[in-house]
Amino acid sequence: MKIRLFKLLIVLIYSCEQPPIIDPINDLDLIPYPNQIISSNQALKISSINSIIGNEKINDLLKIINEEWGGLLQSLDTKKGDSPKSDSIFLQIDNDMDVSSIEGYILEITSNRIIIRGKTGEGVYRGWQTLTQIIELSQNGDNPNYIPTGKIIDEPEYGYRGTMLDVARHFFTPDEVKRHIDLISYYKINHLHIHLSDDQGWRIEIKSWPKLTEKGSLTEVGGEKGGFFSQDEYKEIVSYAATKFITIVPEIDIPGHTNSALASYEKLNCDGKLRDLYTGTNVGFSTLCNTEYTYQFIDDVIRELSSISPGPYFHIGGDESHVTKKKDYIEFINRTSAIVKKYNKKIIGWDDINIADIPTNTILQFWNYSQRPDNQDWDGQIGFKNILNGLKKDPKVLLSPAGLMYLDMKYDSLTNLGLNWAGYINVKKGYDWSVEELFSEIPSDKIIGIEAPLWTETAANSSDLEFLTLPRLPGYAEIGWTKSSFRDWSDYKDRLASHSLIWDIKDINYYSSPLIQWLEKNKKIIN
C-alpha cells in the first residue's frame, strides 16, 4: 500500500506543470529602466492570476487598472481587501513608503502573486505600467505564459516629463490625441503640452469669442480643412489623460503666432482690418495690437480655458514675436502673466519671455538651442542668454533644447518627414546626453524636468506623429526618469530594439533607425 501511494505521489508531482527557467527580471528590456531591481530568479504563471484586490482608498484606480488588464490579457475579478492573497494582484497606497516622489512605487512579483505599492495612486499606476511592460516583453520571449519574479523599487529623477503636441499647424481629432496619449503614457510621460493656437489655426472653442473657431479654425498647413475641439471634447481629452496620470498643459501663444485670431476679429489688429487665413509655415509675422480690447480677449480666453484645465499650468507662448515692438511685447507678457495668476495657474512661457518682468517661479521653457545643419558646433548662445538673464528673476526651467529634443527634426538627411533647422536628431543623439553635464550653468534645483516638443508642419496624421515620435521618445522618457549614472547607450539601444515587437503588434508606426539592430517583426502576443 505504501509503495502504491509513493508511486501515486510521484505521478502527481510530475503531472503538475513545472515553472520554466526564464531570464531574470533585471534582464528584461524595460524603458525607462528602473532605478533598483532585485531578482529572485523564479517565475509566475500569468494565467494563475484571477483577481485584483484593493481597498476603498484605491477604488477608482482599481477600476482603471482592471480595464487595462482586460485589454492586455483577460478580465479579472475585482475584490476589496487590505492584504495580498495568492493568485492575485494587490494594490496599496502607502504614504509612509521610503520614496521621495509622489510617483514612487514598489512592485513585487512572487511565484503566486503580484503586489504594487505606491506613495500615491499615481505611484501605484507607475508600478502598473512597469508590470505591463514586463508582461508584454515576456510574451515575446520563449516562455510567454510566465513572467520573472523579483522586486522593483523605483521613482523618477524629474517630476515633469513631458511632450508637446502641436494641433495648430495640423489639426488632430480627439481620438487621434487619445491614441497619442496611449503611446506616451506607456513610457511614463506625465505631461502633455497642447499647442492650441497659431497662425495656421485656432483649435479650442472660446464661447465668448465664437469667431475664433467659426473662422480661425478652418484651415491648416497646406490648405486642408482644419478643425477645433469643442470645450466638451477638450474636457474629454483632459479626463482621458488623467486616467493615465498625465496632466494636460494648454498653450495659447501670445502676442505672436496669432494670425488665426487676427483673421477672426478685426479689432485685434491695429489697422482694424481682418487678416487672411494663413496656410504656410513662416513664423514671426503676426502680432496682437496692444489695446484694452486685446487684453479683454486674452482675459476671456485664459478664463475659459483655465476653467476646463484642472492642471496647475497655463502656457502663454511668447516665442518668435518678431514684429511686436519691444515695449509692447514686455507689456503683453507682464499683463498676460498677471491674468494667468488671477485664474490660479502657474505660468509657463518659451524662454523669449525672460525680458519681461516675469513673476518668481515662472517656468521658462528653454528651447533656443540648436545644432545647425551646416555646422557641427553647438549654437546655443541665444537660448543660454535668455535663461541666464531669466535666472536673475528666480524662475524654474523646463528643458526642451531644440537641437536635442525637437521631435519634428529629421532623423537624418534621408528621412522625408520633419524639418532640419535645428539639425538632424538621430536616436543616439536624442538619448546620449545628460542634463547635469550639458546644462551645468543652470542650478539643478531650478530644473523641473524635460519636454520633447512635436511641431506639425510636416505631420498630418497619426502615422506621421508616430514616425516622428518613435523611436526617440522612449529615450527622452528615460532621461527624465532614470538617473544618468544608470544610463548607457550601448545597453539602451539593445533594450529599445525589443520594443519594436510591441509597436508592431499594436500597429504603431516608427522609424527603423539603422543605428538599432531591430528584432524580428510580427511576433504575436499570446493572450
- State the Cα angle at 271 between 266 and 272, rounded to 5°: 25
> Is the backbone of residue 355 left (phi > 0), alpha (psi -120 to 50) or beta?
alpha
Q: Where are the alpha helices (DSSP H) in 73-228?
A: 121-139, 174-185, 211-214
Task: Give the count of beta carbons closer than 10 Å to the beta carbon of residue 12.
Answer: 9
- State the Cα angle at 249 between 248 and 251, rounded to 5°: 135
459 with 416: CB under 8 angstroms? no
Q: Where are the alpha helices (DSSP H) in 315-380?
A: 326-342
**Which residues, listed in sequence order, are joined to residue 452 by a DSSP beta bridge?**
163
Cell of residue 183, nine digits: 503611446
Give the span between the Cα atoms of 90 and 79, in whole angstroms.
10
Q: Where are the alpha helices (DSSP H) in 140-254?
A: 174-185, 211-214, 231-242
Active-site choice (68, 176, 320, 331) = 320
320 counts as catalytic? yes
User: Of the candidates 457, 455, 458, 450, which has an alpha carbon nearest to the alpha carbon of residue 475?
Assistant: 450
Give the span between the Cα atoms of 362 and 317, in whole angstroms.
12
Give the span between the Cα atoms of 109 and 38, in whole angstroms.
10
Give the span between the Cα atoms of 289 and 110, in whole angstroms.
64
Helices 292-307 and 326-342 meet at what angle, rounded to 10?
40
Per 3-state DSSP, the chain is made up of helix, strand and coil in percentages (nearest 5) of: 35, 20, 45
Give the span between the Cα atoms of 32 and 189, in whole angstroms.
10
End-to-end CA distance of the chain: 44
Cell of residue 255, nine digits: 502676442
260 burial class (0-12, 13-18, 19+ CB within 10 angstroms)? Answer: buried
Distances in whole angstroms, Cα of residue 243 to Cα of each of 68, 96, 234, 452: 11, 24, 15, 21
DSSP, collapsed to helix, strand or coil, labels residue 467 as helix
Q: What are phi and psi of 325, to 5 degrees?
A: -60, 140
Cell of residue 66, nine digits: 482592471
Q: What is the DSSP letter of 355?
A: G
Cell of residue 366, nine digits: 528653454
Active site (catalytic) residues:
320
